[in-house]
Structures are given as structure tokens and as C-alpha cells.
């Protein structure tokens, strides 16, 4: 599963680590150190953890003017792409 990396073609539009509203603001990522695992299988270090042992995510794009969020989820070795419209930002 370490070869399943998050979709990276969004980076010229949005980087969650650079968005001050993102929970992943300031996050640094390694390309060589694999520290997270799902069921003892190492996963690519670009995935973000948020408290679940078997579910990881990557925020692909946020458009605050249109209230849309696109993200990728990694669950049990399968990648899902999800777009959410009309979300509410709580600060």
C-alpha cells in the first residue's frame, strides 16, 4: 500500500499545509520515511492522519468563494475521491 500516494495534480491550485484555515497548516511531509500504516501495511507519507487507525485523507482543493471541498480518502487500501459543496467553516 505504500505505493498508493494521494493525487498530486492539485498542488498548483491548493496546498493544505499552506492554508492557514486548514487543520494541516504547517504540516511537513517526508518522501522517504514511511511512518503510518493501515493493518500493518505502510502507506505513503503524503497521506494526512486525523485520529483514525484505518482512514487517512488528503485535502485536494478548497474554494472558499464557492464553498467547495475536494478530498481523497484512503480506507483499507482503496482510494476514494469526494467533493463536498456548501460546507460551513467554523473558526
- Residue 90 counted as domain residue: no
Its domain, for residue 22, covers: 16-85
User: Got the DSSP string for 15-44?
Assistant: -GGG-TTSTTTT----SS----EETTEE--
- Residue 47 counted as domain residue: yes
- Residue 2 counted as domain residue: no
Question: All 3 cell numbers of residue 9?
Answer: 495534480
User: What pLDDT was estimated at residue 17?
Assistant: 92
Contact call for residues 68 and 84 (beta carbons, < 8 A): yes
User: What pLDDT was estimated at residue 35?
Assistant: 87
Cα separations in angstroms, 14 against 2, 43, 59, 82, 86: 23, 22, 9, 16, 18
User: What pLDDT was estimated at residue 3?
Assistant: 62
- For the segment 27-60, what is each residue's pLDDT rounded down to a tens digit? 998 888 888 888 888 888 888 998 888 899 999 8
Q: Mean pLDDT of all residues in the chain?
A: 83
- Residue 72 counted as domain residue: yes
Count of domains for the chain: 1
Amino acid at each position: 500500500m505504500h505505493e498508493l500516494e494521494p493525487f498530486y495534480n492539485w498542488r498548483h491550485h491548493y496546498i493544505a499545509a499552506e492554508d492557514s484555515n486548514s487543520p494541516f497548516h504547517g504540516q511537513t511531509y517526508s518522501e522517504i520515511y514511511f511512518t503510518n500504516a493501515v493493518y500493518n501495511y505502510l502507506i505513503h507519507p503524503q497521506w494526512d492522519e486525523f485520529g483514525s487507525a484505518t482512514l487517512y485523507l488528503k485535502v485536494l482543493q478548497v474554494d472558499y468563494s464557492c464553498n467547495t471541498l475536494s478530498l481523497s480518502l484512503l480506507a483499507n487500501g482503496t482510494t476514494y475521491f469526494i467533493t463536498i459543496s456548501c460546507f460551513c467553516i467554523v473558526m
